[in-house]
Amino acid sequence: MCTCCTPAKRYHKFCIGFHGNKARVECRPVRDYLRRNQLVIYLQNSLTKGQENLRKLLISVTKREKKLEKALISKANVQGQNLRQYYSILNQMGVARNAWFGNYNGNQARIVMTQTEKFEQLDAANTCPRIHHLVTAIKKLGNLQHYTAAKFLTDEQIEDLKILIEDFVQHMVNNLDDTNVTPKAHYLLHIHENAERYKTLGLISEQAIEALHAFVNSIYSRASFFKKEDRDEWVMKYIFRQNILKDMSKKE
C-alpha cells in the first residue's frame, strides 16, 4: 500500500519492481517508474542476474562432481580389485593409464579392440553379465576393424563384413539395448554400403594418412621463416617433392 493517499492504494509487489522492496511507497514515483517502462528493464536485469547466478552454480556443481569423481576413482584405484586388474591389463597393452578418465585415442582404441581377449582375465567379466557383454561387443568391433585397413576388399570380404555388422548389431540389441547409440555407432549400419560402392573402407578415410601427421610436425618448424599463410604451401610442396624422389628411386 502507498503512504501518500487516503485511502491507501494497493500495488502488487511484483508489478512495481524494486519499489516493492521499500518500506514506504508513494504513488508519484511508482507512476513515473511504470510510465518509463522501467519495470521491463528491472525484470530483464533480474532475469539476467538469475541466469548468471544459475550458470555459476552449475559450474560450481560440475567442479565439485569432478572432484568427487576423481576422489572415488582414486579410492577405487587403491582398493578396487577389478580396477587394479583393469589397469594392469592396460599396462600390458601399452595403453596410457589416464585413458580411463576420457576417450581413447585412435591407436589406443585399436589396441583395445584387437587385444580384447585380455579383458577376459577380469573377475568382473566372469561375474557380471553386463561387463561380459561389453567385452564381447568390443571384441566384435575389433573383428570389424580389420576391414578398415588401407586396402581394397574382395567381394567375399565385403560379404563377411556385412555378416559381422549384423552380428554386432544383434548382440547390442539382445544384451545392451539400453546403451546410447551415437551417430558414429549408427554409421556401422551403413559402412557395408560404402564397402560395396568403393570396394574399400580404409582408402576413403583419413586413417590412411594418419602416419603423415608426425612427419608434417617434424618438418613444420623448418618452414618457420615463411609467413603463416605461406607455410602450409611450402610443407605440401616439400612432401610432393619427397614423393617424386621416392617414386623415381623405385626399381621398375
Give long-range contacts, CB 8 A cutoff, 24+ apart: 223-230: none
**Residue 204 pLDDT > 70:** yes
Please say whether the dihedral angle defined by the alpha carbons of residues 126, 130, 134 and 139, taken in this order, is positive or negative. positive
pTM of the predicted protein model: 0.54
Query: What is the H or E stretch that residue 135 is in?
Result: helix 129-145
Mean pLDDT along residues 178-204: 86
* DSSP character at residue 225: T
pLDDT at 164: 94
Do the beta carbons of residue 96 and residue 89 sit within 8 Å? Answer: no
Residue of higher predicted confidence among 219 and 69: 219
**Residue 208 pLDDT > 80:** no
Mean pLDDT along residues 116-122: 88
Question: Mapping DSSP to helix (H, G, I), strand (E, B) and coil, where does residue 233 land?
Answer: helix
Q: Ramachandran region of residue 250, left (φ > 0), alpha (ψ -120 to 50) or beta?
A: beta
Residue of higher predicted confidence among 118 and 215: 118
Mean pLDDT along residues 198-214: 78
Q: Which of 86, 73, 76 is CA-nearest to residue 122?
A: 86
Q: How far apart are CA 190 and CA 91, in angstroms?
A: 34
End-to-end distance of the chain based on CA atoms, in angstroms? 101
**Residue 115 pLDDT > 70:** yes
pLDDT at 177: 86
C-alpha cell belonging to residue 251: 626399381
Torsion of CA 31, 33, 39, 44, to 10 degrees: 170
Torsion of CA 49, 55, 58, 59, to 10 degrees: -120
**Residue 76 pLDDT > 60:** no
Domains in the chain: boundaries: 211-249
Q: Give a three-class secondary structure readout of 27-78.
A: HHHHHHHHHCCHHHHHHHHHHHHHHHHHHHHHHHHHHHHHHHHHHHHHHHHH
